[in-house]
Amino acid sequence: MAGLTVAVAGLDFVSPVIIPAGPGGFGTELREHYDLTALGAFTAKTVTPHARIGNPPPRLVDTGFGLINSIGLQNPGIAAFLDTVYPTLLPFPTHLFLSIAGETVNEFEGMARTLAGVEGFDLLELNLSCPNVEASCGVIGANPQAVRDVVMAVRHAFPDRPIAAKLPFEVPDVPGAVRACEQAGIDVLTLFNCPQAARFDVTTGKPFLARVTGGFSGPALKPLTLAKLLVVRSLTHLPIIGMGGAWTADDVLEFRCAGADLVGMGLHTLQDPVEVCVIARNLGS
């Protein structure tokens, strides 16, 4: 099925397929080596107020039917990103989304205020749900009041372009979190970040990951994600970027059946970005 152009938050997308934050890095290598024009959008990896070195290795472990990652939001910090990385991305060949994470309302608001004066990207995603950091930026999305506070502050500081809230897979109060996003003025919901997962080496009894747990992604996650998307779609008319298990073109169509407008293909991007771009082109205009 081709011709699945999508309109979300005032933006027109040539395909429902996007690359979510993380697997494609900041996009510099992908932009240089691959034709990204068929993608609906590309999301740069999350940046934070200050540089983060990320978690100690090992950071990745195969599950046989997916991958557990424990990167830990490694990034140079927003100032260095804007000074050294961002200029190399422009003009980007498709819609460009930026992703930010902070530990407090003030950190989110400060980054949003900085980015309000930066041209060249189309949507700001608030990472309220990283599953592999110790700080509070990993749990904001689980607290409806915290979600409301962050989104309201960012909306005030970043008034002229769409904002998306990326919520955790294990959000305990789904109706409350969705209602908080609506009340605070969010434009798009990104559903969901990776659920927590772990693996152990049976020869030593120790976990494979240095941080023990990380975020699970892969095709095995798809049925669980689809069920949760159905719940959210019954609660709101907000546009949804669905992700968590999409691997094939048919998977993208299933996500749309469950209520997603756009569909992120993360782990597949890590494995074969060319095939992701082919899927995007086949489904798009």
Catalytic residue among 130, 137, 181, 277: 130
Instruction: Please name the amino acid found at residue 169.
Output: F
Query: Is 137 tagged catalytic?
Result: no
d(CA 111, CA 20): 20
User: Are the C-beta atoms of 211 and 56 separated by less than 8 Å?
Assistant: yes
Which of 186, 180, 210, 214 shows the shortest CA–CA distance to 198?
A: 214
Cα-flanking dihedrals φ and ψ of residue 136, to 5°?
A: -65, -15
d(CA 191, CA 76): 26
Instruction: Please name the amino acid found at residue 129.
Output: S
User: Are the C-beta atoms of 69 and 158 separated by less than 8 Å?
Assistant: no
41 three-state secondary structure:
strand
Instruction: Return the half-sphere exposure (C-beta side, CA atoms, 13 A cut-off) of residue 76.
Output: 11
Which of 85, 83, 87, 157 shows the shortest CA–CA distance to 120?
A: 87
For residue 246, give every residue at least 6 positions away whose Cβ sits within 8 Å of its Cβ, in sequence order, or none: 222, 252, 254, 255, 263, 264, 265, 268
Catalytic residues: 130
